[in-house]
Amino acid sequence: MIVDRDEQFRFFARGLFLHRRVCEVQSTARVTEVPRLSHQEINIAFIEVPEDDTPVIQMLRWLRHGEDSPAPEMPVILLVKTLDKTQLARVTAFGIHGILQKPVSGEKLLKAVVGVATNPRLFKSAGEPVADAASKVLPAAKVAVEESAPASVPVGEAPPPPPVERRTAAQKAVRVAARPVGRDLPSPPPAMTVRSGGGIGAVEPPAKSNRGTDPIEVVASPPVAEIRPWPDESAAVGKAPSEPLELAALAENKKKKKKDIALADPLQDKDGAKKDAGAGIEAILEAHASWVASSGGDGRRANLEGRELCGLALGGKVLSSAMLRRAELSGSDFTGADMHGVDLRNADVFGGTFVGTNLAVARMRHAKLRGCVFSQASLKGADLGGADLTGATFGDADLTGAILVGANLAEADLSEVGGLIQGQLDGVKGDAATRLPPGLILPEGND
């Protein structure tokens, strides 16, 4: 889960993790959305800390100690612009797993995930013992460093052994396309600090303070081994693997790639001719339904990006988290389909039917949805930013938490929708024919 007001950063981070085959990435600009999103299975959260950190503190208090919190042990990494010790003392009081200073590179994001997955350690701004992600009590994590405390582990002494390794939710589910190969991860020291701008990847011993006792030293996640990419075919060109394990992994990966190439286009015959779209899609959706039902353990995720699939009857189908980006779906019928979290960004669904469809948290940014019908549909948390909804009919659809910034609502009928508030209409476009629920108006600048 990514909580950040910077839309470009959210887009970058989502693409980074999805490219590494993470099953699903939730993102939002509002920290108040965390309680709703936390009821899904979230394995790690990156949360921005703005200048007004009160909402973040309230959210962390609820997450760690709230009676209705579904994930009190969720790993949390904070994203900060400045390393202000006073602010960090406040936001780390309820326990975090690391801090990254913005701007953040993709490499640092991946290192942060690997660090939490391999050694989940919970840090707090107080000196009392805290629990790690497996709810086992660790020795006190020294975040507040006194003047008399040693700056680092003495030269020649090995750092204390890490706690007994247990598989946690983060270790089971977080999947990134990078890991250390052929060697063990080093044991982290018990307390670390970070240089200004260094982020999690750059750590150094804390210098002795000449002032009084500081309320907090900047804490980073434990250091991790150097990230090395998964072996691929290019690694075998001109250079033999240095270790037998790498050679075996390379051969296995090559076999998998050949299999993937053979199955890459289910809508194409061996000679390259296109099959009937209606017949080919059934096999894809059947495999996708198995993938959804088994949480990725069986079947295969449907990837129909850029396909020409106009006029299909997909009513009642399971399309949760399916990839339909840039697909041509004009005139298609999705009545009663489960499209939770589907990716329809930049897709063309002119005149599509979504009656009773579950489109919760769907990604529909910049989609062409002119004349679509959304009666009785659930669009909770859906991202419709920049979408063309000209002439669309929403009936009694649920738009709770839906993102509409930049959407074109000209001639659209939203008069009976539920969950829509005035703040969601900021930045939308409309005209005199746009119909809104009683009490809501288009923002200034619209005719």
pLDDT tens profile 44-84: 999 999 988 899 998 888 888 888 888 888 899 999 988 88
How far is residue 225 CA from its own chain's centroid? 23
Domain for residue 288, yes or no?
yes
Domain for residue 233, yes or no?
no
User: What is the domain count for the chain?
Assistant: 2
pLDDT tens for each residue of 123-156: 776 533 333 333 333 333 333 333 333 333 343 4
CA distances from 434 to 24, 82, 232, 400 (A): 34, 44, 53, 19
Query: The whole model's pTM is what?
Result: 0.44
Report pLDDT for 202.
39
* Overall average pLDDT of the 383-403 stretch: 95
* Overall average pLDDT of the 145-172 stretch: 44
- What CATH number does the domain containing 435 carry? 2.160.20.80
Report pLDDT for 255.
55
Of 65, 84, 118, the residue at which a domain comes to its end is: 118
Whether residue 40 is predicted with pLDDT greater than 70 in this model: the reply is yes
Whether residue 35 is predicted with pLDDT greater than 80 in this model: the reply is yes
* Overall average pLDDT of the 172-196 stretch: 43
CB 123 within 8 A of CB 143: yes
Report pLDDT for 148.
33
For the purposes of burial, counting CB atoms within 10 Å of the CB of 253, is it exposed (0-12), middle (13-18) or buried (19 or more)?
A: middle
Tell me phi and psi for residue 425, to 5 degrees: -90, 0
* Integer Cα distance of 165 and 208 in angstroms: 32
| Max avg pLDDT among 112-126, 198-212, 229-243, 298-312 | 298-312
pLDDT higher at 364 or 169: 364
Whether residue 108 is predicted with pLDDT greater than 70 in this model: the reply is yes
Q: What would the DSSP string read from start to end of 354-413?
A: -TT-B-TT-B-TT-B-TT-B-TT-B-TT-B-TT-B-TT-B-TT-B-TT-B-TT-B-TT-B
Whether residue 237 is predicted with pLDDT greater than 90 in this model: the reply is no
pLDDT higher at 426 or 127: 426
Whether residue 413 is predicted with pLDDT greater than 90 in this model: the reply is yes
pLDDT tier at 16, thresholds 50, 70, 90: confident
What percent of the chain shows pLDDT beyond 70?
Answer: 65
Domain for residue 23, yes or no?
yes
Domain for residue 194, yes or no?
no
Domain for residue 415, yes or no?
yes
Report pLDDT for 138.
32
* Overall average pLDDT of the 101-127 stretch: 81
Question: Which range marks the domain in which residue 92 is found?
Answer: 7-118
Report pLDDT for 36.
83
* Integer Cα distance of 86 and 335 in angstroms: 53
Report pLDDT for 93.
86
Report pLDDT for 105.
86
Three-point CA angle 226, 228, 230, nearest 5° = 155
The pairing of beta strand 193-194 with beta strand 203-204? antiparallel
* Integer Cα distance of 205 and 145 in angstroms: 11
Whether residue 90 is predicted with pLDDT greater than 70 in this model: the reply is yes
Domain for residue 52, yes or no?
yes
CB 3 within 8 A of CB 31: yes
pLDDT tier at 160, thresholds 50, 70, 90: low
Report pLDDT for 393.
95
Report pLDDT for 182.
41
Mean pLDDT of the chain: 74
Report pLDDT for 166.
52
| Max avg pLDDT among 109-118, 203-212, 268-277 | 109-118
Domain for residue 215, yes or no?
no
As a three-state string, the secondary structure of 35-89 is HHHCCCCCCCEEEECCCCCHHHHHHHHHHHHCCCCCCCCCCEEEEECCCCHHHHH
Token readout for 402 is: 């839906």
Report the candidate in 256, 258, 250 with the shortest Cα–Cα distance to residue 234: 250
Report pLDDT for 248.
54
Domain for residue 245, yes or no?
no
Produce one character per residue of 216-231: b if its CB has 16 or more CB atoms within 10 Å, e if not. Answer: bbbbbbbbbbebeeeb
Of 118, 140, 163, the residue at which a domain comes to its end is: 118
Report the candidate in 418, 346, 414 with the shortest Cα–Cα distance to residue 384: 346
* Overall average pLDDT of the 336-359 stretch: 95
Tally DSSP H helices, then E strands, for the chain: 8, 7
- What CATH number does the domain containing 114 carry? 3.40.50.2300
Of 57, 87, 118, the residue at which a domain comes to its end is: 118
Question: What are 308's strand-pairing partners?
Answer: 328
Whether residue 211 is predicted with pLDDT greater than 70 in this model: the reply is no
Residues contacting residue 274 through CB under 8 Å, at least 6 positions apart? 267, 268
